[in-house]
Structure 1
């Protein structure tokens, strides 16, 4: 029978008992995940809000385009057929109010979902956007 030197027996026993994670390693891993999540979640929420707002922009521009096509034919916005009442993804509802006996209009996009932009998005016949330029 062959006898192993003492240092080999010690190394073999040590590697056999060190499987798994220590509590400290798990706490550090959870802390790192928490820090990354605290950075990533607000960024993702801003991204989603921006994409929703883009949906409102698309809906307003689509409605304005239909109104302008109608105006070139009829020379008034009052005789235009119905415009879309919602944005392409259906997140915003679009409403039309005519001004100056059909010589102008204001389109308004509103939603019931929470957003950093509390105001409704508007677009008029002159292409003026309002009321908050940061929302556009």
Structure 2
């Protein structure tokens, strides 16, 4: 509401400005966490793509060499012995545990990225049988992550 002052100038009172600032602060406090959760959820797609890609490459190795961990399989060497594959934008690192007949892949959120704050889906996992699991920061399963 604009008020005319003694000198004839129009303006807002301090109370009016403070009410607007308070309303904007409340809206931001509600909207920002929701927005960040939406960003994290969309970034999880990157982990799913890389996990599925590595799993397919391992399946091709198994077809060609009858073992997931064969030395001729380049993807096997890239995810074992404390080595990891980084996702395209660097939000996740993918590691694997391989035996001749099984594999377990795990995508872990990289610290310092928006995904590091993902409390619901800290890690995503995929094995040779296609079983998909996810764990949150309390190590309970989160099926909605996949």
**Structure 1 residue matching 2:105: 3-state secondary structure:** strand
Q: Decide which of 17, 21, 27 is 2:12's aligned counterpart.
A: 21
- Structure 1 outlier segments of 4+, above 3 Å: none
Question: Are 1:106 and 1:125, in contact at CA under 8 Å, matched by a contact in 2?
Answer: yes
Question: Are 1:58 and 1:88, in contact at CA under 8 Å, matched by a contact in 2?
Answer: no
Q: What's the counterpart of residue 138 of structure 2?
A: none
The TM-score with structure 1 as length reference comes to 0.76
Greater fraction strand: 2
Greater fraction helix: 1
* C-alpha distance in structure 2 between counterparts of 1:72 and 1:114, whole Å: 38
Q: How large is the Cα RMSD of the aligned pairs?
A: 2.4
Instruction: Show structure 1 runs of 5+ residues with no match.
Output: 1-12
* C-alpha distance in structure 1 between counterparts of 2:117 and 2:56, whole Å: 28
Q: What's the counterpart of residue 108 of structure 2?
A: 110
The TM-score with structure 2 as length reference comes to 0.71
* C-alpha distance in structure 2 between counterparts of 1:66 and 1:90, whole Å: 20
Question: Are 2:68 and 2:102, in contact at CA under 8 Å, matched by a contact in 1?
Answer: yes
Query: Which one has the largest radius of gyration?
Result: 1
Instruction: Show structure 2 runs of 5+ residues with no match.
Output: 80-84, 135-140
Question: Are 1:92 and 1:109, in contact at CA under 8 Å, matched by a contact in 2?
Answer: yes
* C-alpha distance in structure 1 between counterparts of 2:26 and 2:120, whole Å: 27
Question: Are 1:60 and 1:108, in contact at CA under 8 Å, matched by a contact in 2?
Answer: yes
